[in-house]
Amino acid sequence: MSATTAIGGSIQTVSRTKPAAAIAKSSGLTTALITTKLPILLGHELGPFNLPDFKRYGFWSAQHESRADLTMLLGCLYLLIVGSGRWSIDRLLDRDAVPPA
């Protein structure tokens, strides 16, 4: 998971294949949310996914534990839909390119 996040973040920084990087990171983050946070939400083990030892389980505990994953997931979805805009490396590279005749 951390390798996918690091490589996807690097690709999003370079920005030439941003949709592919956003999809890869989103799928990795979705997998992480399902495998690690869903048992906390349900309050019991789910198949092969273990339940960590917490004082409380349920919606708020799951939200507390998943806040960073959800933030990264929403950021990836935003970049996938909107793009990085005028601060992207793509825009800097395209500005130096010669327009087609």
What pTM was computed for the model?
0.68
pLDDT in tens, 67-90: 999 998 998 888 888 776 676 777
pLDDT at 70: 92
CA-wise closest residue to 38 among 23, 56, 58, 53: 58
Instruction: Please give the C-alpha separations between residue 11 and each of 24, 32, 34, 96, in angstroms, as whole numbers.
Output: 10, 20, 24, 21
What the block records as the tokens of 39 is: 């048992």
pLDDT attached to residue 8: 66
Residues of the chain falling short of pLDDT 50: none
